[in-house]
Amino acid sequence: GKGEGSAARATLDAEARAAGVADRVAWHGHPPPDVRLGLYRRAAALVVGAHSAAQPQTVAEAQLCATPVVALDMDGAADLVRHEHTGALVPAGDPGALAAALDDLLAHPDRAAALGQAARMHALGTFAPESAARRYAMLYRSILADTTAH
């Protein structure tokens, strides 16, 4: 993992120092859900820089907290983030595009807030239990209609 004491954490610390941003970076490891939600709410954006098994949950949590998401356009990210509607998708392997997307959000907080609100609405419509139940009910009805029609 990337928590306290890991080799990846040491590498990230060194990269932050080399970039001159170590004093502005806080590492949180794997916080519990209540802490994560507070972090999302205070964040200018969630950056999804690589695929992980937790990516869909992480994106959904951030979106439900009205946090815009900037993600690499790979591994199904477009299924989670609507470019220029709920956040930004940037080409994988293009750190300049990632930096530009973040700079844009930081330079335009009203736009970032609007993207965050749109992200929240998208997440509520996509991930909320009521939305999922409604989609399953529609699926079941269509299956039943197909079986009774034959």
Provide the mean pLDDT of the chain.
88
Encode pLDDT of 86-96 as tens digits.
999 999 889 99
Taking Cα atoms as reference points, which of 120, 138, 126 lies closest to residue 37?
Answer: 120
Average pLDDT of the segment spanning 33-60:
87
What's this model's pTM, rounded to 2 decimal places?
0.76
CB 66 within 8 A of CB 119: yes
What count of other Cβ atoms lies within 10 Å of the Cβ of residue 136?
A: 10
Between CA 47 and CA 86 the distance in angstroms is 13
Write down the residue that tokens 């954006």 correspond to.
Answer: 45
Return the DSSP state at 91. -
Residues 6+ positions from 3 with CB-CB distance below 8 Å: 9, 27, 29, 30
Residue 146 has pLDDT above 80, yes or no: yes
Residues 6+ positions from 11 with CB-CB distance below 8 Å: none
Does an H or E element contain 89, and which? strand 87-90
Between CA 14 and CA 130 the distance in angstroms is 45
The first and second tokens of residue 21, run together, are 């941003």
What is the Rg, in whole angstroms, of the alpha carbon atoms belonging to the chain?
18
According to the model, what pLDDT value does residue 2 have?
46
According to the model, what pLDDT value does residue 52 have?
67
Encode pLDDT of 87-133 as tens digits.
999 998 899 999 999 999 999 999 999 999 999 999 998 877 887 78
Residue 1 has pLDDT above 50, yes or no: no
